Chain A
Amino acid sequence: MMFNPQTLELFTDSGKLIKKLNCPFSMDWRDMEMAEDNDRARMCDRCTTPILDTAKYKDSELLKILVDKPNTCLKVDLNQDNIKIIQPKISFDHETI
């Protein structure tokens, strides 16, 4: 998957938008307990919802989950192996970089 740190948008490797991260709270992943029914997620006390660890999911899995439930929360670590960081594009009059 691909992540743009400026827009906080997460994409599949083929460029489909999975989600724009937008958590307004300052939550600490390390303080969260594992979700009971999902070893790839942790529970957020603030919203009492599971947060999926994107390092443990395939693009296609995340895309399907987010299509079904667009408000699903995700965790992204820029150091995780399955992510590529993309930079914003800068436009000129006659070309796009």
Chain B
Amino acid sequence: MKPYSTNPNAYRVIKTERDIDKINDHAKNGFLPVCVRIEPLIKCCPRFMLLQDLQTKEFVVIKDNEPLPSIPDFNERYKVVINWREFYPIKFTIPFAAYLAPPDLAIGEQVFLEDVITDHIGMDWDAGVVQRVKSCEAIWNGKEFLVKYRPDLYGAMLMG
């Protein structure tokens, strides 16, 4: 369930920049870069396992939502090189990223963050796989974007 991945309310789209030179370029060009610290949340990271095919010597990466190779002699054919481990799905070379706020953004305007910097957990209902929420709506308060994350919509809130 990813209801916000396509900007259903057609709000203005706010881009994210993760390269400091490009952030500076946008600042010079009139944008207001809103810098936010990157704090990886380990519990929303997907997991992987690294296998090696003992016949071909090739390495195979298996992700959370992928099935293991379905062959009868699996244990003879594959060696587990790295057991299930979480990995942060975002590449970053600096410990922050910036939302590129356009200069005409009005306080109180609702927007669509195309690439959310902060980590929020969503869930694939069918497979029960935990995943990081990529896009989300937010509201601009003049200083920062208040992310309007709704765990009920992303399957991250459960009752029973």
**Most chain B CB neighbours (cut-off 10 Å) among A73, A79, A97:** A79
Residue in contact with B74 in the complex, picked from A29, A75, A79, A92, CB distance below 8 Å: A92
Residue in contact with A22 in the complex, picked from B121, B129, B156, B160, CB distance below 8 Å: B160
Task: Encode B139-160 as 1/0 by CB contact (under 8 A) with A.
Answer: 0000000000101100011111
Known: A73-B159, A76-B158, A85-B130. A93 touches B75 (CB 8 A): yes
Residue in contact with B75 in the complex, picked from A7, A20, A51, A92, CB distance below 8 Å: A92
Known: A79-B121, A79-B151, A92-B74. A6 touches B128 (CB 8 A): yes
**What is the number of contacts between chain A and chain B, taking CB atoms within 8 Å?**
78
Task: Give the CA-CA distance A32 to B92 in the complex, in Å.
Answer: 40
B83: chain A residues within 8 A (beta carbon): 97
B47 touching A8, Cβ below 8 Å: no
A51: chain B residues within 8 A (beta carbon): 159
Number of interface residues of B (CB under 8 A): 25
A74: chain B residues within 8 A (beta carbon): 159-160
A73 touching B160, Cβ below 8 Å: yes
B158 touching A8, Cβ below 8 Å: yes
User: Does A30 touch B at the CB level, under 8 Å?
Assistant: yes
Interface residues of B in 111-135 (CB under 8 A from A): 120-121, 123, 127-130
B157 touching A76, Cβ below 8 Å: yes
User: Does A78 touch B at the CB level, under 8 Å?
Assistant: yes
